[in-house]
Amino acid sequence: MRRLARYLKGFRKQVILGPAFKMTEAVFELIVPLVMASMIDKGIKLNDPAHVWRMGGLMVLLGVVGLGCSLTCQFFASRASQGFGTVVRGELFRKIGTLSHAEIDRIGTPSMITRLNNDVNQLQLAVAMLIRLVFRAPFLAIGATVMAMALDLQMSVIFLAAAVLIALVLYLVMSRSVPFYGKIQRMLDRVSLITRENLSGARVIRAFSRQKAEMRRFEDASEELRQTSIRVAKLSALLNPATTILANAAIVAIVWFGGLRVDAGTLTQGEVIALWNYMTQILLALIVVANLVVIFTKASASAARVNEIFDTAPSVTDEGNTERAPVPGAPKIEFRDVSFSYSGGDEPALCHVNLAVAPGETIGVIGGTGSGKSTLVSLIPRFYDPQQGAVLVDGVDVRDYPFAQLRGQIGVVPQQAVLFSGTVRQNMQWGCEGADDGQIERALAVAQAKEFVDRLPGGLDAPVAQGGKNFSGGQKQRLTIARALVGSPQILILDDSASALDFATDAALRRALRRDTRGMTVLMVSQRANTVKAADRIVVLDDGAVAGVGTHRELMESCPVYREICLSQLSSEEANRS
């Protein structure tokens, strides 16, 4: 947690002045029992109403000034904690943006969201408590004990005994409950993972009538969370009765032995009341300490989770890379003996892949599900780096480019069409900032999307809902293709991005791409033989290895895997037609 303190740098004033005001209020609180004692011993006992009024007035003054101090501290605490939360959240968001897919896969999106929200909120609360109570509570407990000792050293033995017993109870309860807090946070992660999966996959769940099973999964996770939270709550619930019994026993002892000492003339009635007040203050302060321990334990678990993200070094980085010139005569894209495994994956997703793609060439990539097609193309824009071998663009290892230069020349259409809330035009301009309507319309026309966009009310200004929910799967795919084309990239990667299109639209799209993407190097991933058949060359992947490279005709003759795929989808007449 100490490491996160650097984010408090901008709030030095609040962090210093806040506790100072709170301590001033605590000093006033320690003075009040003495004023009360004087009111009783001098005002009431000696029948001096003027003294009672004076002491009463002093108590009101101490109360009002104390309240002012407390409110000022509260103000500083809110400023600092909210500011701290905003800074940490912003930094965390920035850091998550630098992580590569491998780290995001490992930590998981729901866990990142929980860390960004719940964990940062917990830290924010800890900062507020740090300013408001961390110094005040121990100061009050120790101060009340010292004041009691100053009043009557012998009576203060009761205080010390009560304080030690209360502290022991606190220790016993906290040492048993604290280990559960980390567990509860992990359980919260699981609940939010299930919630997220259910919200994003609501249609699939309904289509498969999985509502009951999903409800059970959610209930199990939430029941586990409930039971653990109840176990902790039960333990914590012991705290108040146990400490109150001990404090009340101490108060009984104070009144009992105080009475005897009043009889003996060594203590006044007012001092007994003051000792009683100090005991109550100690009890309240120790209960606050117990709550602080809970808050700081949770915050320390949250800090560890937040720091885990800050400490994660992105496995793919462009640090220190400078603009690179293309190597004359080099292939546009080259895979040199590339092998790649996902972290945690037993089997390599790609095995010793060698491939050179000439500038302007259209390459079809085909293979069964899980054969490594998406993995192959995701190495070009460096979504992942291979463990072995190298991927080169224009003869330069992709690891040597600045991201902006590398990714600026690649248009990627991912398997899952993702659009962002805004308008059609705004989404298209992701492909090229400041693209004009002419550029956008040309891209829409190639992607076979112009016709339906023209029909939308507002045309390019038509709204796009979050995730593009107001478009059909096929429309979304066409819009994502257009988005990639707007910037006229040198390399276009289509990762099974026409899977939701009907055959006629798919064929029209391929014709338009062939016609309008001359000079563009295109990698077209598909499971459909028809989609890749007309490519200049086709790469056949089988279990991560290249099973064949060539034209449709060559592969039909030489590659059994390709022949099998084609014959499973096309009539033998269609398959044999080039």
Write out the residues near ligand ATP by the rule CB under 6 A: 105, 342, 345, 349, 367, 369-375, 415, 496, 527
Residue (85 or 110) nearer to ligand ATP, CB: 110
Distance (Å, whole) CA 383 – CA 503: 30
Rounded least distance, CB 526 to ligand ATP, Å: 9
Q: Which residue number, 19 or 364, has a Cβ lying nearer to ligand ATP?
A: 364
Give the CA dihedral 322, 325, 331, 335, nearest 10 degrees: -10
What are the residues whose beta carbons fall under 8 Å from the beta carbon of 223, sequence distance 6 or more? none
When the beta carbons of 302 and 531 are compared against ligand ATP, the nearer one is 531
Of the pair 118, 527, the CB lying nearest ligand ATP is at 527
Per the CB < 8 A criterion, the answer to whether 1 and 122 are in contact is: no
Of the pair 115, 373, the CB lying nearest ligand ATP is at 373
- Closest approach, Cβ 108 to ligand ATP, in A, equals 11
- Give 118 or 415: the residue with its C-beta nearer to ligand ATP: 415
CB of 201 to ligand ATP, least distance (A): 17
Tokens 């060559």, located at residue:
554
CB of 339 to ligand ATP, least distance (A): 13
> Looking at beta carbons only, is 320 or 345 nearer to ligand ATP?
345
- Residue 359 CB, nearest distance to ligand ATP (Å)? 25
Please check whether residue 472 is in contact with residue 480, taking contact to mean a CB–CB distance below 8 angstroms.
Answer: no
Beta carbon of residue 568, minimum distance to ligand ATP (angstroms, whole number): 14
User: Which residues, at least 6 apart from 158, have a Cβ–Cβ distance to it below 8 Å?
Assistant: 250, 253, 254, 257, 279
- Could you tell me the end-to-end alpha-carbon distance of the chain, in angstroms, rounded to an integer? 66
Instruction: Say what the alpha-carbon torsion angle 218, 224, 226, 227 is, to the nearest 10 degrees.
Output: 160
Least distance from ligand ATP to the Cβ atom of residue 314, Å: 16
C-alpha 291/C-alpha 563 separation (Å) is: 70
Residue 389 in contact with residue 337, Cβ under 8 Å?
yes
- Between 253 and 545, name the residue whose CB sits nearer to ligand ATP: 545
Min dist CB 410 to ligand ATP, Å, is 17
Q: Which two tokens stand for residue 142?
A: 């120790």
**DSSP letters of 97-119?**
HH--HHHHHHH-HHHHHHIIIII
Closest to ligand ATP by CB, 291 or 530: 530
Of the candidates 9, 10, 18, which has an alpha carbon nearest to the alpha carbon of residue 77? 18
Nearer of residues 243 and 378 to ligand ATP, judged by Cβ: 378
Phi and psi dihedrals of 15, rounded to 5? -70, -30
- Cα–Cα distance for residue pair 130/278, rounded to 1 Å: 23
At its nearest, how many Å lie between ligand ATP and the CB of residue 470?
26
* Smallest distance, ligand ATP to C-beta of residue 544, A: 7
As a residue count, the chain comes to 578
Residue 572: CB minimum distance to ligand ATP, A: 24
The least CB distance from residue 389 to ligand ATP, in Å, is 16
Q: How far is CA 503 from the centre of its chain?
A: 41
Give CA 434 to chain center in angstroms: 31
Q: How many whole angstroms separate alpha carbon 481 and alpha carbon 492?
A: 9
Taking alpha carbons only, the member of 472, 102, 536 closest to residue 480 is 472
Gap between the Cα atoms of 21 and 18, Å rounded: 5
∠452-453-457 over CA atoms, to 5°?
105
Residue 68 phi, psi dihedral angles, 5° rounding: -60, -45
Strand partners of residue 546: 541
The distance of closest approach from Cβ of residue 376 to ligand ATP in the complex, given in angstroms and rounded to an integer, is: 7
Token output for 328? 């004359």
Judged by CB, which is closer to ligand ATP: 322, or 568?
568
Q: Residue 350 or residue 481: which is nearer to ligand ATP going by CB?
A: 350
* Nearest to ligand ATP of 74, 415 (CB atom): 415
- Alpha-carbon span 373 to 167, nearest angstrom: 63
